Each structure stands twice: as C-alpha cells, then as structure tokens.
Amino acid sequence: MYATTIKPKSINHLRESILVNSLGEGTHGTIELYQCKQISNTGVCDRLFVVKRIKYKTDYLGLKIKPKKKEIDRFYKEYEIGMMLHHPNIRRTLDIDVNFETIILEHCDGIDLLDYLNDYDHSDTVKLFSQLIDAVDYLHTNNIVHLDIKLENIIINPKNNIIKLIDLGEAMLVEENQLVYGLKGTEQYMAPEILSLYEFNPKQADLWCCGIILYNLYYNRMPWSFAKLNDIHYKNHSNNIKKGILKEYIFPINTNYDENNEAIIKQLLSMLLNVDPEKRKNSSMIKNYYSLLQ
C-alpha cells in the first residue's frame, strides 16, 4: 500500500513509498521505516528512509487529540537542529512534512549499541568511543547539546563499525556556559546535578553520558542503577572520585589492553564521571586526551 501522508518539501522519494515496518515509539513520537518505490529509467529506487511522526493521544472516544503547542514547537526544534548538522557520526535529517508533523531521517543500517554489546569483544572500544566523542565535540563546538546520549541512541553498522548518534528530541541550542533546568534524558544516564534538580551545564551533562557509554564499552555493564547516593555503587564511585582514587570498583573484566591503555581509560572515566560538573573536562579536552590511545 502506497503512503499518501508523506509529502516532504524537497526530496521526492517518499511521494511514492511503502511502509516497511514500525521501528517503535517513544514518549513524543512514532518511528517507521519507509521504502521509496519511485520508478525511473534505471528502475525502482528502493531507498530506505526513517520517518518520525508526532505521537497523537486519543480521548475516551478514541478520537485523536491535537498535540499541545510545546509538542509542536519541540517537533520543529528537532527538525531545525537536525538540518544544521553534517557529521559522519550523526544521523542526517533530510526533510519535513509540515502538514502531517513528519520528519524524514537518514536510514542507518545496523543495530543499537545496547544490542551490539551482547556479542561485543571489546577490541573496538577505542574506535567506537572515538567516533562518539568526535560527534559530541562537533555538537558542543556548534553550541548544540544532545541531552539523551545512551546506548539505545547510538546505531552501529557491524559491517564497518561506524556509529551514528540518533534522536535529537531532547537536543537544544545553547549559549556558551548557559545553564538549563529540569529532568532531561534517561534516568540511568542522568548526571547527578540533574537528579539533584539544580540548574546544570548541559554540555557537562552530555559528557557524563559519554562516561556511562565508555564504561559500558569497557566493562560491558552499567556502573550503577541510578546516579543517586542511595545506590551503593554510585556512593562508592562518588567517594573514590573525591579521594582521587583511580581504580575500578565494580567487577572488572579481563581485557586485551596493555597497562598504559587501561590507565588512560580509567583516567578518562574519572574525567567524565566526576561528580563535580565543574571538574568534568570539556569535549575537546577529552577528545585530545583520548587520542593517546590511537
């Protein structure tokens, strides 16, 4: 069945397309995979696109409720920020259908990093994290913050180990050293200053998330359930960081890294997961320090 509700402004591919399958839904939108069926002199296109729609709620009669203004604004903000970005490790935003609140996105072949870690041998930690920190540094250099960096929002193509950072639903344009307020992102990845309900530096919060990702790549597990003092693992981490102790305190695994690389990774973890956001290093400093591994 051909889609009749996708009319992007500039790309013609989705004017004749079929719905391949649903990729899931989140709090604010539904994600679907479409395939172009436009016919040309060279045959059928068959190019894949990801389509994100505003999620409509229904009333007690089952009728759709028009999204609130803040949801519409969020939709346009996500599109506008996405169109500003051109980086090999960030999923491209391609177009918009304003009539049906639909954003058209690049299809990234692969699986999310959470699923990938199930069969992960840790030999590519350096390459994978290097791509992530390069993407985050690109965002921050352009005064954009992601605010929901997590394993599920990183797609990896197992054929070439290229990653793509996806989902700009929480992303913001910020001024230099601007502070923001509110619960942003996913709880397991939230920096302690967010959970404390203080104003926080969103760039430093992004880097905390990067620390959680690096921990997962290196140790293949989350460091704690929540970044709260009533979590014993987090309390141990907080106390050790304050004492300047650079060691692993939660079930380290055997790796093939030499002692120098292990020391660098543990130092990076202490930089990224510093409980004091003012002592957390910025993305450029992390990127430069991480280059010692390569």
C-alpha neighbours within 13 Å on the C-beta side of residue 277 = 21
Distance CA 71, CA 32 (A): 19
Q: Please give the torsion angle defined by the CA atoms of residues 60, 66, 69 and 74, in that order, rounded to the nearest 10 degrees.
A: 100
Q: Is 118 within 8 Å of 147 (Cβ atoms)?
A: no
Distance CA 18, CA 247 (A): 52
Distance CA 38, CA 213 (A): 40
Distance CA 258, CA 74 (A): 46
Quick count: other Cβ atoms within 10 Å of Cβ 231? 15
Place of tokens 């230099």: 176
Active-site residue identified among 134, 148, 167, 206? 148
Our answer to whether residue 119 is catalytic in this structure is no
Q: Is 184 within 8 Å of 169 (Cβ atoms)?
A: no
**Coil, helix or strand at residue 210:** helix
Distance CA 48, CA 157 (A): 15
Positions marked active-site: 148
